[in-house]
Amino acid sequence: MSHRVLLAGIFHETHNFLEGLTPLGDFTTRRGDELFTARGDGSPLAGVLQVADEAGWTVIPVIDMRATPSATASDESVEVFWTAFRAAVEREAAAGIDGVYLVLHGAMVSKSFEDVEGEVLKRIRTLPPMVNVPICGVMDLHGNISPQNVESMQGMVAYRHNPHTDACQAAIDAARILDRILKSGERPVGLWEQPPVMWPPTGTGTADDPMRTLEAMARDIERQHPDILAVNVFGGFSFSDTKFTGPSFCAYTVGDVAVARKKLQELSAWCLAHKELGNRVDPSLDDVWPQVEANLKRGETPVVLVEPSDNIGGGAPGDGTSILRYLIRKGATNAAVVIDDGAAVATLSKHKPGERVRVTMGGRGSRMGEGPVELDVELVSTSNGRFQLEDRNSHLASMCGVNIDMGPCAVVRHEGVTILLTTRKTPPFDLGQLRSQGIIPEKLAIIGVKAAVAHRRAYEPIQKASYTVSTPGPCASDARIFPFQKVRRPIFPLDALQ
- Positions touching Zn ion (CB under 5 A) are 140, 142
We find the least distance from the C-beta atom of residue 88 to Zn ion, in angstroms, to be 28
Tell me the sheet residues that pair with 336. 418, 447
DSSP summary character for residue 22: B
Q: What SS3 class is residue 101? A: strand
Nearest Cα to Cα of residue 250 among 325, 289, 183, 194 = 194
We find the least distance from the C-beta atom of residue 280 to Zn ion, in angstroms, to be 16
We find the least distance from the C-beta atom of residue 15 to Zn ion, in angstroms, to be 12
We find the least distance from the C-beta atom of residue 435 to Zn ion, in angstroms, to be 25
Amino acid at 347: T
Nearest Cα to Cα of residue 172 among 137, 222, 133, 219 = 137
Instruction: Rank residues 150 and 399 by Cβ distance to Zn ion and give the closer one.
Output: 399
We find the least distance from the C-beta atom of residue 240 to Zn ion, in angstroms, to be 12
Q: What SS3 class is residue 431? A: coil
The secondary structure of 202-253, three-state, reads HHCCCCCCCHHHHHHHHHHHHHHCCCEEEEEEECCCCCCCCCCCCCEEEEEE
Residue with the closest Cβ to Zn ion? 142
Residues 6+ apart with CB under 8 A from 10: 63, 64, 65, 66, 77, 78, 81, 102, 103, 104, 108, 116, 117, 120
We find the least distance from the C-beta atom of residue 179 to Zn ion, in angstroms, to be 25
Amino acid at 94: A
We find the least distance from the C-beta atom of residue 143 to Zn ion, in angstroms, to be 8
Residue pair 11/108 in contact by the 8 Å Cβ criterion: yes
Q: What SS3 class is residue 295? A: helix
Residue pair 451/306 in contact by the 8 Å Cβ criterion: yes
Instruction: Rank residues 162 and 301 by Cβ distance to Zn ion and give the closer one.
Output: 162
Instruction: Rank residues 165 and 466 by Cβ distance to Zn ion and give the closer one.
Output: 165
Instruction: Rank residues 107 and 491 by Cβ distance to Zn ion and give the closer one.
Output: 107
Tell me the sheet residues that pair with 190. 252
Measured between alpha carbons, how far is 106 from 120 in angstroms, rounded to an integer?
11
Instruction: Rank residues 140 and 340 by Cβ distance to Zn ion and give the closer one.
Output: 140
Instruction: Rank residues 3 and 395 by Cβ distance to Zn ion and give the closer one.
Output: 395
Q: Between the CA of residue 77 and those of 30, 255, 281, 329, 381, what are the distances in Å?
A: 13, 38, 34, 43, 37
We find the least distance from the C-beta atom of residue 140 to Zn ion, in angstroms, to be 4
Instruction: Rank residues 142 and 176 by Cβ distance to Zn ion and give the closer one.
Output: 142
Residue 261 CB coordination number (10 Å): 16
We find the least distance from the C-beta atom of residue 398 to Zn ion, in angstroms, to be 8
